[in-house]
Amino acid sequence: MYDTMIAGSRDSKLAMWQTRWVEEQLKKSLPAITVHIKSVKARGDKILDVPLAKIGDKGLFTRELDNALLAGEIDFAVHSLKDLPTEMPAGLTIAAVTKRWDCRDALISRQGLRLNDLPAGAVVATGSLRRQSQLLAWRPDLKVCDIRGNIQTRLRKFDESDWQAMILAVAGLERMGLGERITQKLDFDIMLPGVGQGSLAVVCRADDKRLIDRLAVVEDRESRLMARAERSFLNALEGGCQVPIGAKADVNGRELRLRGFVGSVDGQTTLRVEIGGAADEARELGRNLAREALNKGAGDILDLIRGKE
């Protein structure tokens, strides 16, 4: 059973690279299997002239693959974990969370200028409200412009623009062999990553126990615990692409530390919270940290943002 599998992927270069990487990891443990990759264009890859926050679609990068799974057209799908909604569609499950890559955000700048060295008024491109909020909280004298598209498209737009800098994920750049474009990997004191950033999620039908068992060979326990805590935090805050929320979990043996960020779009009002506890209670830690954030005013920040949409 499942000597041949059909994997679903978005059709971008990065998504295809990630799906092939999962295929390679599967074959290390299951050398007899054959994996065919079926690519689709997600709605989020088609709408490039509207900021992500204004589209407001939780399945923006996943729905087409979800539908293909539920229709039996593919056996599993590979996603960047940060793109998955915190509540999975009925009938689907995250069968595996892969080992987390470097989850920091990367500054790409002209003349090799680091974030603190950018001149006042410098324009920094990002398509993420989370990055925008934390950037402006650190450097309120900077200006932000929106950018959409895949990594290659964003780099081309940057090279053709007069922007001074741009922010992308370290993991995506390095997976594409573009690590040399990185000027600075931003410390977590400056910018907490997106929930799940740096890990891949392998999704399949929830009732396909045999396939779930097979996909478990690419699972990384610590990365799963990190994801569980971060996604629980985001879920309890009812967040998504539309709101500036960041989180970073760290697992040390049986202990888990979770840091969270909530901020206004302009970065003028921000909140950082932190909690620690048993790693096997990751989900509860995420909920508790969200509760603490709400008690400290996160709800007011989020209500203001949502009221403007």
Q: List residues with catalytic annotation.
A: 83
* Residue keyed to tokens 């929106």: 146
DSSP secondary structure, 236-303, as one string: HTT-STTS-EEEEEEEETTEEEEEEEEE-TTSSSEEEEEEEEEGGGHHHHHHHHHHHHHHTTHHHHHH
Do 114 and 19 form a contact (C-beta atoms < 8 A)?
Answer: no
* Residue keyed to tokens 């830690």: 285
Do 107 and 167 form a contact (C-beta atoms < 8 A)?
Answer: yes
- Burial pattern 57-79, b for ≥16 Cβ within 10 A else e, equals bbbbbbbbbbebbeeeebbbbbb
In whole angstroms, give the CA distance from residue 287 to residue 283.
6
Beta strands at 76-80 and 4-10: parallel, antiparallel or unpaired = parallel
Do 90 and 28 form a contact (C-beta atoms < 8 A)?
Answer: no
DSSP secondary-structure letter at 150? Answer: -
In whole angstroms, give the CA distance from residue 27 to residue 32.
7
